[in-house]
Amino acid sequence: MMERFEPTPEQREVGALAREIAEREIAPHIAHWDRTHHFPRELYTKLNAAGLMGLTIDERYGGAGADYLSYALAIEELARVDAGTAVTLSVHLMIAAAIGRLGTDEQQAEYLPRLGTGDVIAGFALTEPGAGSDAAALLSTARRDGDHFVLNGRKQWCTNGAYAGVTMAMFRTGSAESKGISAFLIDHSLPGIVVEKTTEKLGIHTSNTVDLAFDDMRVPASALLGAEGTGLSNALGALTTGRIGIASQAVGILAACLDASVKFAKEREAFGKPIGAFEGVSFKIAQMATDLDAARLLVYRAAALCDLGLPFAIEASKAKLFASSAARRHAAEAVQIHGGYGYTTEFPVERYYRDAKITEIYEGTSEIQQLIIARSLLGRL
């Protein structure tokens, strides 16, 4: 079974493509983009031309039809240079996967070519001010009106929301329970949806995060994604595949921390020799490298199981839990290795430190991942 977790040459080529684009198109600009909180919309036109925006979309709709291990490698390489770009692509492909799994033939024919090759970005809207980890507490409503639904409510922390052409959003269509929630594909060209606020964040400054307001927005009944009342399970299903992307993002951040730490430890001297010669530094780097390998293997296993059509939700949770925690811990160690320089914007490790923390929070907090893993072993006691 182990050989299934090792990327093939073809899969590694996808990662190499993502790395080449990241080094050429992102690396020269990322410090400025981070300082100015700039969402580089033009970058995604280039990613679209390279086939990355349609990486996992079926070839029938113009996508590359790549597997999830290839996807994990691509996200890692993008995150190695910029975690914000990586999560933008990860969420985009998460929504495309949800449409491919749940959408009608008409929905797939309408949206997947646009997301795969049409330079259209997908967004996600689940969280509300009073509904985060407890997603079933959402209050936004979708009221049936003939062959339309009328949407009302506020969505918080919507990834890609200001630039999306289509957003997967959850609304209450029935009772005040989880089975009263339905998923919709929201076409942003329709009236009634407004970007109410752009969220200022600790990190991932190149990722667009907004609050969306829905005021009597009329959408056709055909916008319903999946059966009515299955929206919460559909959202959680989307987040399960999305966790492979977030775990890969964390791996990329961790890889960048290792690269930067090794370089600095070889070049920076103290007491007449490189600081890497001291155990206090070298042991940090050794642990960083070990945890990077462990995180990668957990991601590869989850992606491989997904590609085989086998259950992978627990493995995705384990990958996200471990990789995100390791990224946050070792980003702090990378700053420590750099000393005073690490606390300045002269070196990128302070950005890695800020970017790493969110991987423990979004698409299911670390506590939620622990709950999922514990319940798989203990049941609901």
pLDDT tens digits, residue range 208-237? 999 999 999 999 999 999 999 988 888 889
CATH 3.30.70.260 fits 2-121, yes or no: no
**Chosen CATH of 234-378 out of 3.40.50.720, 2.30.30.180, 1.10.10.60, 1.20.140.10:** 1.20.140.10
Question: Degrees (nearest 5) of the Cα angle 214, 218, 219?
Answer: 105
When the pLDDT of each residue in the chain is averaged and rounded to a whole number, the result is 96
Residue 334, pLDDT > 60, answer yes
Write out pLDDT tens, residues 108-128: 999 999 999 999 999 999 999
Per-residue pLDDT tens digits for 245-274: 999 999 999 999 999 999 999 999 999 999
Contact between 331 and 253 (Cβ < 8 Å): yes
Model confidence at 133, pLDDT cuts 50, 70, 90, reads confident
Residue extents of the structural domains in the chain: 2-121, 123-232, 234-378
Q: What is the mean pLDDT of residues 360-371?
A: 96
| Domain 123-232 class, CATH top level | mainly beta
Is there a shared CATH topology between the 2-121 domain and the 234-378 domain?
no
Q: What is the pLDDT of residue 175?
A: 81
Report residue 97 as tokens. Answer: 């996967």
Using one digit for the tens of pLDDT, what is the confidence trace for 66-89? 999 999 999 999 999 999 999 999
* Ordered DSSP codes for 64-126: ----HHHHHHHHHHHHHH-HHHHHHHHHHHHHHHHHHHH--HHHHHHHHHHHHHS--EEEEE-
Could you give the residue numbers annotated as active site?
Answer: 363
